[in-house]
Structure 1
Amino acid sequence: MNPVKINAQDVQANLANKIANLELQLANEIAAKQSVVKYAEELEDIIEKHNINEKPKSAQEKTSAK
């Protein structure tokens, strides 16, 4: 088998490039997660504000009258 010659500068440049790409991917994923969390919180606020989880009083009266 022939010996393999490796240029340390090329290896370092490739690793630096891969690290930079991973940092960028992580930043994008963090931003996406923050957007999803913010949207979920906004939906929770809307639900609380409009009391969407509660039945209207007329519907409650109909079920209790039966």
Structure 2
Amino acid sequence: MANLRVHDAAKYLGLSKSFLDKARCYGGGPAFIKLGASVIYRTDDLDAWVAANLRVPSNDNSRAARAAA
């Protein structure tokens, strides 16, 4: 498990730093640690957040829907 600052966490996720800044303020983003003025993200928390946001298409023609049937 690595600890990343905001800029590096954004690169890790392929998102903008601005998105993470807004997600911290308004909610819906990955868990973070606040140490004084620093914000730290653990890679385990980033991976868990990505996994929790997995969406499977509901289209009947999708491979996932056919495989689940």
TM-score tier (shorter):
0.3 to 0.5
Task: Calculate the TM-score normalised by the size of structure 2.
Answer: 0.31
The structure whose RCO (Cα within 8 Å, separation 6+) is larger is 2
Instruction: Point out the structure with max Rg over C-alpha.
Output: 1
Considering fraction of residues, name the structure with more helix.
1
Task: Calculate the TM-score normalised by the size of structure 1.
Answer: 0.33
Considering fraction of residues, name the structure with more strand.
2
